[in-house]
């Protein structure tokens, strides 16, 4: 389910709507669940056999056609290629629209004029200067990783298969710089046979050494792809990346998921720790620095800084994940030397910077009072001062990702009147 809060002229409009995916429409008409969830419906050998047989039968008698999509469009949102999309990495994106009255309308499943046959990441990266979108998909069969771009006019580039990804890795996110794409190769691997052995299509490989793969943005094949081993660095989400040393070194800021073996079943046991990783492209050396030992994931930055050196990160504080007890503003411009001297508080604010001239917004639910609200914080303030709050009529469940968009940007897409701010977020249904 997709939730939106539109704030304009001192008023707020809240809306919750299911994205009208193929799965939603088929199951709504049937009145019961038809398309199985690979992550939860095959959790034992008996469940695999029984639910597998039922699914095959339903496919044969025409109750559903998986080629129309199996995804929930429930992971993230992105504005690129002339559309606002609801995304899930197991399917194509769904184009959605926000009506002037605040309603959420599903436009439909989008295949970029037939050029995107199957799924794509839920975390494409949009260059703030060019408007280009950079994306990929991962797959349990070769090629395990495929890279592509989408022009601002919605035209998709041809696929670039990455055959140097030799095992089927679970790649949820990646990063871009001005000239490069950075892919993580973590200890989480996709494995369809895992449904038989462990009941899960994603598993943990303790013998694998995590890597970072670096590919030029406009590569026409993978011949210039370079892989760098980074033992112990499991990046599920990226926060940002940029180049230094005239492009010879890449800096990646990301949470390193400690205890990643618990990622799928016990999120409360993992402990993401934000690190700065430097990759020397010429010498082939990698160095790592801990930016915070707090439990921080699902961080966000000013989207105008994507791919460029930035200073501020805003992240929920896991209590434990997926719950959060607050939001922290982190200054990642502090040098490694300063870090050792613990000079943190004096470096929160930097002169001549407008990177944090904006808002940090989030949905919040108080489990004690059972009240839900939408919070707007001043990103420039050191304590993230709450400048507006909207009491919500119902709870927005703990979810995945949200997106803050200016209505003026949406008006450019849809040519509607009005002004205001929109925050959208998903829950897990
Ligand atoms: Fe994500």
Name the more confident of 304 and 406.
304
Find out whether the peptide bond into 352 is cis, omega within 30 degrees of 0.
no
pLDDT at 195: 64
- On the question of pLDDT at 283 being above 60, the answer is yes
Give the distance (Å) from ligand 1 centre to CA of residue 400: 6
- On the question of pLDDT at 429 being above 60, the answer is no
- On the question of pLDDT at 417 being above 60, the answer is no
Cα–Cα distance measured from residue 172 to residue 120, given in angstroms and rounded to the nearest whole number: 10
| Strand-pair category, 359-366 with 371-378 | antiparallel
pLDDT at 420: 53
Across the range 194-219, mean pLDDT stands at: 87
Annotated binding-site residue? 401: yes
Span 260-278, pLDDT tens digits? 999 888 889 999 999 999 9
Give the distance (Å) from ligand 1 centre to CA of residue 377: 22
Q: How confident is the model at residue 351 (pLDDT cuts 50, 70, 90)?
A: very low
Span 32-64, pLDDT tens digits? 988 887 766 766 777 777 878 888 888 888 888
pLDDT at 407: 79
pLDDT at 426: 59
- Let me know if residue 108 belongs to a domain: no
pLDDT at 387: 92
Structure-token pair, residue 165: 């990804």
Q: How confident is the model at residue 288 (pLDDT cuts 50, 70, 90)?
A: very high
- On the question of pLDDT at 399 being above 80, the answer is no
Give the distance (Å) from ligand 1 centre to CA of residue 155: 24
Give the distance (Å) from ligand 1 centre to CA of residue 234: 14
Give the distance (Å) from ligand 1 centre to CA of residue 146: 18
DSSP annotation string for 347-393: GS--TT--TT-SEEEEEEEETTTTEEEEEEEETTSTT--EEEEEEES
pLDDT at 421: 54
User: Among 170-179, 207-216, 420-429, where is mean pLDDT lowest?
Assistant: 420-429
Give the distance (Å) from ligand 1 centre to CA of residue 300: 11
Q: Which of 176-180, 331-335, 387-391, 415-419 has the highest mean pLDDT?
A: 176-180
Annotated binding-site residue? 382: no
The SS3 assignment for 313 reads strand
Give the distance (Å) from ligand 1 centre to CA of residue 122: 7
Give the distance (Å) from ligand 1 centre to CA of residue 115: 24
Cα–Cα distance measured from residue 291 to residue 129, given in angstroms and rounded to the nearest whole number: 27
Across the range 398-407, mean pLDDT stands at: 83
- Let me know if residue 242 belongs to a domain: yes
pLDDT at 176: 98
Give the distance (Å) from ligand 1 centre to CA of residue 18: 19
Give the distance (Å) from ligand 1 centre to CA of residue 138: 14
- On the question of pLDDT at 174 being above 90, the answer is yes
Cα–Cα distance measured from residue 372 to residue 129, given in angstroms and rounded to the nearest whole number: 36
Give the distance (Å) from ligand 1 centre to CA of residue 149: 19
pLDDT at 424: 62
Give the distance (Å) from ligand 1 centre to CA of residue 110: 20
Give the distance (Å) from ligand 1 centre to CA of residue 121: 9
pLDDT at 352: 43
Identify which of 302, 198, 316 has the alpha carbon closest to the alpha carbon of residue 255.
316
Report yes or no: 385 and 368 within 8 Å, Cβ to Cβ.
no
pLDDT at 339: 52
pLDDT at 412: 79
- Let me know if residue 29 belongs to a domain: no
- Let me know if residue 218 belongs to a domain: yes
pLDDT at 210: 97
- CA torsion, points 236, 240, 245, 246, in degrees to nearest 10? 120
Across the range 21-28, mean pLDDT stands at: 95
Give the distance (Å) from ligand 1 centre to CA of residue 322: 12
Give the distance (Å) from ligand 1 centre to CA of residue 167: 21
Q: How confident is the model at residue 323 (pLDDT cuts 50, 70, 90)?
A: confident
Q: Which domain holds residue 257?
A: 164-354
Give the distance (Å) from ligand 1 centre to CA of residue 297: 10
List the Cα angle 324/328/330 in 5-degree steps.
Answer: 140
Domains in the chain, number: 1
State whether the Cα torsion 409-379-271-346 is positive or negative: positive
pLDDT at 342: 37
- Let me know if residue 385 belongs to a domain: no
Cα–Cα distance measured from residue 130 to residue 82, given in angstroms and rounded to the nearest whole number: 13
- Let me know if residue 188 belongs to a domain: yes
- Let me know if residue 325 belongs to a domain: yes
Give the distance (Å) from ligand 1 centre to CA of residue 118: 19
Give the distance (Å) from ligand 1 centre to CA of residue 173: 7
Q: How confident is the model at residue 78 (pLDDT cuts 50, 70, 90)?
A: very high
User: Among 5-19, 113-127, 190-204, 208-222, where is mean pLDDT lowest?
Assistant: 190-204
Cα–Cα distance measured from residue 335 to residue 209, given in angstroms and rounded to the nearest whole number: 27
Give the distance (Å) from ligand 1 centre to CA of residue 153: 25
Span 104-142, pLDDT tens digits? 999 999 999 999 999 999 999 999 999 999 999 999 999
pLDDT at 346: 33
Structure-token pair, residue 410: 């949406």
Name the more confident of 321 and 423.
321
- Let me know if residue 151 belongs to a domain: no
């Amino acid at each position: 389910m997709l939730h939106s809060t539109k704030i304009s002229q001192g008023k707020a409009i809240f809306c919750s709507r299911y994205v009208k995916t193929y799965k939603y429409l088929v199951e709504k008409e049937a009145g019961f669940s038809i398309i199985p969830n690979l992550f939860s419906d095959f959790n034992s050998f008996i469940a695999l056999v029984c639910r597998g047989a039922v699914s095959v039968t339903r496919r044969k008698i025409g109750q559903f056609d998986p080629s129309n999509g199996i995804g929930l469009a429930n992971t993230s949102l992105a504005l690129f290629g002339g559309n606002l999309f609801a995304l899930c990495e197991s399917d194509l994106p769904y184009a959605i629209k926000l009506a002037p009255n605040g309603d959420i309308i599903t436009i439909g499943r989008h295949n970029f004029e037939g050029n995107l046959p199957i799924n794509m990441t839920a975390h494409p990266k949009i260059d703030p200067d060019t408007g280009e979108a950079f994306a990929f998909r991962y797959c349990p069969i070769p090629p395990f990783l495929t890279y592509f771009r989408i022009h601002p006019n919605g035209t998709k580039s041809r696929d670039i298969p990455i055959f140097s990804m030799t095992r089927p890795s679970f790649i949820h996110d990646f990063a871009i710089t001005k000239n490069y794409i950075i892919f993580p190769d973590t200890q989480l691997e996709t494995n369809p046979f895992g449904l038989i052995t462990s009941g899960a299509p994603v598993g943990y490989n303790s013998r694998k050494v995590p890597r970072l793969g670096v590919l030029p943005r406009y590569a026409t094949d993978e011949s210039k792809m370079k892989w760098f081993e980074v033992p112990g660095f499991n990046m599920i989400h990226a926060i940002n990346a940029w180049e230094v040393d005239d492009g010879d070194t890449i800096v990646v800021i990301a949470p390193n998921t400690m205890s990643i073996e618990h990622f799928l079943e016990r999120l409360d046991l993992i402990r993401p720790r934000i690190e700065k990783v430097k990759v020397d492209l010429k010498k082939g050396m990698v160095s790592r620095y801990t930016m915070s030992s707090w439990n921080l994931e699902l961080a966000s930055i000013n989207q105008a800084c994507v791919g460029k050196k930035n200073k501020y990160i805003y992240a929920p504080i896991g209590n434990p994940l997926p719950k959060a007890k607050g939001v922290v503003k982190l200054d990642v411009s502090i040098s490694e030397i300063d870090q050792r001297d613990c000079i943190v508080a004096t470096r929160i604010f930097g002169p001549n910077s407008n990177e944090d001239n904006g808002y940090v917004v989030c949905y919040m639910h108080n489990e004690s009072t059972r009240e839900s609200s939408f919070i707007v914080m001043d990103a420039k303030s050191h304590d993230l001062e709450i400048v507006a709050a909207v009491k919500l009529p119902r709870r927005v469940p703990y979810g995945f990702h949200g997106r803050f968009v200016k209505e003026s940007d949406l008006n450019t897409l849809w040519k509607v009147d009005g002004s205001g701010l929109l925050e959208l977020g998903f829950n897990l249904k």
